[in-house]
Amino acid sequence: MRPDKPGEGPAVLLGEVRTGLLQHSVELPLSATDRLLGLRHGERVRSSQRPNVQAHSPDLLTGVDCALATGSHRSVRGVGTVTARAVLTEGRVLQASVRARLAAAEGAQRLPWSHYLARPGTVEVIGRAEAPALADGHLTAGPGATLDLGAIAERMLTGIQGGGGLDRRAPFRSRRIRLRWTAVRADLAGEAPGGRLTVEDDTLRTLRLTLDRIDPAEVTAFCEDLALHDWLLSTLGRLIERSGLGSDPGPGPVLKLRPAVNHLMHLWMPGARVARPLAPLWDGLETRPGFSRQWAAAVQRVRDHLALQAVGLHAQPVRKD
C-alpha cells in the first residue's frame, strides 16, 4: 500500500454499520438522547433536526493489533485505533457505525501507543499489501483472528440497548442488519468510480465503493444512510410478510401492521444527509434495484389494505330480500 496523497484522503476505508430498532416503546425524545448517546464524559452528543431528527454519539476509539485479511491466505499486521459511533434517527432506529482508515506504516515494528493515539481512527499496515486486496479481505473475512469491526459495533449496540433509560418494550421484533463496507481510491483500484451493493444473506449486506477522493466522514455518513434505508425496507418487508397480508382475510394483518405505520413509514428519506459528491451513488441504487420504488410499493400496499379494511368495517352488508 502506498502512503496517502495530500488532498485525496486515505487509500482505503473499512467499515461496518449495524442497524436495529431502539428497544423502547415510543420514539425517544431528543432531550433524552443526550443521556443515551453520551457515551463519553465531557463530550457533546451532536444532533440535528433538519431534514429529520438525528443524533450522533461522540466517536469512541478501540485499540487493535491484529492480522488484516487480504482475500488470500496471506495476511498483514494492522496496528492502530478504529472509530465507533452510535447514530439514532427519529428516536427510533439505532445504528452502531465502526470505521478504520488504513495507512501504510513507516517501519516494520509496532511504535509506542501514543503514536497511534495521535492518529485516531487510523490502522497502520505493517507489511506489503495492495489497497484493493485489503478491501476485499474485509468484505469476505469470516469469523477468526482478523480485524473484527462488526464485534465492536455489536458491543456498542448491546451496550446502549441494555444500558438503562430504555423500557425494552419495542413495538415489534426485528433483526439487526449488518452492512460491511469498503471504500478504495479509484486510482489504486484501477477502476472507474462507483459502488457495488450485495445482499449476502438475510442479515448481511456488503458494499464496495470506488471513489476519486475519500472523505472518511462523508463516506461513513453515506454508508449509515444506506444501511438505515436497507434496514427500513427489509424490516417493513418482514412485517408485511409476517402480518399475513394477502392470506389472512380477517383483522389480524391490520393489527400486525399497525407498528409499521406508527413507527417506520415516516422514516424514509434516502440521501437526505449525503454529501453532494456521493449523491450519484444513491441515484444509482434508485435506478437499480430501486430502493424507493420498492418502499413506495410496500407502503402503498399497507395503506390500501388499511383503507379497504376501514371500508369493510364500516360498510353495511347489502341485503337482497
Partner 1 sequence: MDTTFREVSADPRTASVPLSHLSLEIGHLYMDDFAAGPARLREQFARVKPWADAARAACTAPAGRRPRISTCFLIDDYFTRFSSPAEVVPQLIAEAEACGLTIDYLARESACAETDGCHPARLVESRLVESPPPGTNGSRPPTTATGWLSNGERSPGLDHLLAEAMGGDTGWRPPRETEARRHSVFLDVELWDEQHGRRTWSCPYLAAVWQLLRLGLLRDRGQEVLHPADRPETFPHSWDALPPLVRLNPHADPFAAYRTFSVLASRFLPIEHAVKIVLEQWAPEEPVLAQLAERAGQEGVPLPDDVIARVGYVFHGQP
Partner 2 sequence: MLVFATSDKGGTGRSVTSANIAYRRALLGDDVCYLDFDFGSPTSAAVFDVPSALRGVDQAGLHSYLRGNVAEPKRVNVWSESDSASLRNRPSGSGQLVLVPGDRGGGEFVTGGDAVRRCTELFLRLEEEFDIILVDLSAGRSYAAEMVLEATSRPELAEVVTRWLVFHRWTRQHIIAASGLVYGDRGIMAAGAARGHDEDTLRDSVRFVRAAVPDPSSPMFTQLRPAQAAWLRACHEDLTRLASQHRLGQTLVLGTVPLDPVLQWQEQLITDDDVLASRVANTETAEAFAALAVALTHDRAWESPL
Does 148 bind partner 2 (CB under 8 A)? Our answer is yes
Contact partner, 288, from partner 1, partner 2, none, Cβ < 5-8 Å per class? none
Does 283 bind partner 2 (CB under 8 A)? Our answer is no
Least distance from partner 2 to the Cβ atom of residue 97, Å: 17
C-alpha cell at 212: 476519486
Q: What is the DSSP letter of 73?
A: S
Does 259 bind partner 2 (CB under 8 A)? Our answer is no
Q: Closer to partner 1 by CB, 178 or 263: give it.
A: 178
C-alpha cell at 12: 482505503
Does 103 bind partner 2 (CB under 8 A)? Our answer is no
Residues 6+ apart with CB under 8 A from 196: 207, 208
- Measured CA to CA, the distance from residue 196 to residue 208 in angstroms comes to 5
Contact partner, 170, from partner 1, partner 2, none, Cβ < 5-8 Å per class? partner 2
Answer for which of 64, 84, 103, 170 binds partner 2 (CB under 8 A) is 170
Does 251 bind partner 2 (CB under 8 A)? Our answer is no
Least distance from partner 2 to the Cβ atom of residue 88, Å: 15
Q: Please, what is the angle between helix 252-263 and helix 291-314, to 10°?
A: 130
Contact partner, 64, from partner 2, partner 1, none, Cβ < 5-8 Å per class? partner 1
Give the rounded distance of the alpha carbon of 277 from its chain centre. Answer: 19
Instruction: Check if the beta carbon of residue 222 is closer than 8 Å to that of residue 215.
Output: no
Which is nearest to 91 in space by CA: 62, 65, 54? Answer: 54
Q: Please, what is the angle between helix 216-243 and helix 279-287, to 10°?
A: 30
CA angle 203, 243, 238 (to 5 degrees): 15
Contact partner, 35, from partner 1, partner 2, none, Cβ < 5-8 Å per class? none
Centre a 10 Å sphere on the Cβ of residue 120 and count the other Cβ atoms it contains.
13
Least distance from partner 2 to the Cβ atom of residue 201, Å: 10
C-alpha cell at 3: 502512503
Stretch that binds partner 2, among 98-106, 130-138, 172-180, 264-272 (CB under 8 A): 172-180
Contact partner, 168, from partner 2, partner 1, none, Cβ < 5-8 Å per class? partner 2
Using CA atoms in the order 167, 157, 174, 224, what is the torsion angle rounded to 10 degrees?
A: 130
Least distance from partner 2 to the Cβ atom of residue 149, Å: 11
Least distance from partner 2 to the Cβ atom of residue 141, Å: 12
Q: Closer to partner 2 by CB, 96 or 285: give it.
A: 96
Does 35 bind partner 2 (CB under 8 A)? Our answer is no
